[in-house]
Structure formats: structure tokens, C-alpha cells
Amino acid sequence: MVVRDAVPEDTEQICALIEEHARYEGNDELRLDRADMARHLFGDSPKAWVLIAEADGAVAGMALCSWNFSTWEAKPGIWLDDLFVRPEFRRHGLGKALLTELRARTEGRVEWEMQEGNERAAAFYAKLGAEPAPEWIKYRWLPT
């Protein structure tokens, strides 16, 4: 098992993993533009970055992240936008390895969202020592 930073040659696998994750969550329509993803991850001004988990020489999972900053802690942290391990590679420690690597990259917070009702994920996160953030409401402002 290897966890490494993604490189531009991983763009196809990154997009495939995101699309597989969407299908797993019930969205069969998601199709990502590979050139846009490559530009946002590896272009002149990257907006996010990816860790790749490999097992038996295959891309088994990934964590897509961006940096954030806590004004009250005065520390940078990591926003985990997408964590996905292909079903055939689950229960082998890859999710934990990806999150452990993220934890090692910042002295600040590592934060993410989870869909309500995902009890398996909640139990997994609790084993790591992660807790839900009480008293916070998520907002979204979409372009018009």
C-alpha cells in the first residue's frame, strides 16, 4: 500500500474515482471534464490537490483536498472535499492511511462533510477520533 501525491498523469484516474463515487452515492449522471480537472489540480494556480492510495499496483482510492485557514486558531487546515476507496479495496486500511497522511500535513483542523445516515462512515471517523462539528449550519451560495 502506497499513499502519494497525485501527478498530472493521474487526472484520468482521479476523474474516474470521482465519477465512481458519484455513482456509489446515486448520481449516475456525473461526467467530469478532464482538461478542467487537470487545470484546477495541476495548472499554474492549483485550486486543490489529491492524495492517491495504491494497492497491488492499482489506483485504489483518493482524497481530494484544498487548504483552508482558521482565523481563530491562526493556523492553516485542510478541507477534505472527497474521500473514496474503490469497494474491492475497502477494509484494508487505505481510508485510514489517506486520512492519517492529511492529519500529518497540518497542525490545524482537517474538516469534511458526511451525508446524514452514513453510519459506516460515522463509525469509521469516530474510530479515528473525529467528531461532528456541533452548532454549525452549512450554507451554499450558487451562481445565478
| Active site amino acids | 125
Q: What percent of the chain has pLDDT over 70?
A: 100
3-class SS at 113?
coil
DSSP annotation of 61: E
Please tell me the predicted confidence (pLDDT) of residue 39.
98
Alpha helix stretches (DSSP H) within 1-144: 11-24, 34-42, 94-104, 119-128
User: What pTM was computed for the model?
Assistant: 0.91
Largest CA distance in the chain: 45
pLDDT greater than 90 at residue 32: yes
Please tell me the predicted confidence (pLDDT) of residue 116.
86
Q: How many CB atoms lie within 10 A of CB 53?
A: 27
DSSP annotation of 91: T
Nearest residue to 104 via CA among 133, 47, 65, 72 = 65
Domains of the chain: 2-128 (3.40.630.30)
As given in the structure block, the three cell numbers for residue 136 are 454549525
Q: How many residues does the chain have?
A: 144
Q: How far are the Cα atoms of 37, 79, 85, 106 from residue 24, in angstroms, in the given order?
A: 20, 22, 11, 30
* Mean pLDDT of the 120-127 span: 91
Q: pLDDT band at 17, cuts 50/70/90?
A: very high
Query: How many angstroms separate the CA atoms of 64 and 49, rounded?
Result: 6
DSSP annotation of 30: -
